[in-house]
Each structure stands twice: as C-alpha cells, then as structure tokens.
Amino acid sequence: MLGHKGRVLVTGMGAPYSDDLRQKAIAAVERGERKTEVSRIFNISRNTLNLWLQRKSETGTCQAITHYQQGSRHKITDWERFRSFVEQHGDKTQAQRAGLWGGGVTQQNISDALRKIGFSRKKRPTAIANAMKTSEASSSHN
C-alpha cells in the first residue's frame, strides 16, 4: 500500500518471503557478493538478509518459521472453574479478582479471560438501571 509521497506503508505482518527468494539471496552472498548489493538487488532489508544467513548457519535452512503461537499462552485454562469464580466474585474489580485467583495472574489476564468467555466488564445492575432511566425519560417526552 502506498502512502504519502509514494512510500510503501507496512500494515501488519504480511506473508513471509518465498523460499526461492531466500535461497537466491543467500547463494549470492555465498558467491561473494556484498550484502548491501544483494539487499538492493532483491529489494529486501539488510537486516532481513542477516537474519536469513544467521538462521541458515544455526539450523541449516533459511525457510520461514511457521506454526508458531501468536500472543501469549493463557494463564487461566480451567474455563468452567473461571466462570463460576467470576459469578461468585462479580462485585470485585479485575485487580481484586486477579489477587483472589492467585498463581501470578494479573488484571490483564483476568480481562483477557473475561473476553474469552464472553463476559462484559460492565456490571449488569448498573447497565439495567441506566437502560430503565433512558426508557423512562424517552416515554415522558412523548
């Protein structure tokens, strides 16, 4: 995608470079071509080329890494226990729940887990009371 002044904008992680391109670039370096020149010819960054060379020296291949986990592992994995815990401690803040759950769980872990099981951060009685006030106010204007 082109941005201001025709510069390429990076929008998230794209697909990895092809194995063919990786192998050709590494072969050029192994033939003795300068890394800077190889980077320019193949339109890749010097850092990318260095990473490929490093991976090849460490693992014997420069193939793209696949099937890696994105994001962190959940610290809360017993979802049924967590659901009943949330129902039991519905009046507590996320930070308070994190302290009660234990095991190094943080407020952010509680937030992520609540989202995963579909719980809103809103406390239901307040939301219902606000909805009632809104409907009463709109019906009195008619």
DSSP 30: H
As a whole number of angstroms, the distance between CA 115 and CA 109 comes to 10
Looking at residue 64, what is its pLDDT? 83
Q: How would DSSP label each residue in 37-97?
A: HHHHHHT--HHHHHHHHHHHHHHS--PPP-SPPPSPPPS---HHHHHHHHHHTTTS-HHHH
Q: Which of 128, 72, 131 is nearest to 104 (CA)?
A: 72
Looking at residue 134, what is its pLDDT? 60
Average pLDDT (3-7) is 48
As a whole number of angstroms, the distance between CA 32 and CA 29 comes to 5
- Predicted confidence (pLDDT) at residue 74 exceeds the cutoff of 90: no
- Say which residue the tokens 């696949």 belong to: 66
pLDDT in tens, 76-117: 888 899 999 998 988 889 999 999 988 888 888 888 889 888
CATH topology of domain 13-59: Arc Repressor Mutant, subunit A (1.10.10)
If one compares 37 and 123, the residue with the highest pLDDT of the two is 37
Do 49 and 29 meet the contact criterion of CB atoms below 8 Å apart? yes
pLDDT in tens, 33-73: 999 999 999 999 999 999 999 999 988 888 887 766 666 67
Range with the lowest mean pLDDT among 25-29, 38-42, 48-52, 137-141?
137-141
Q: Where are the domains of the chain?
A: 13-59, 74-122
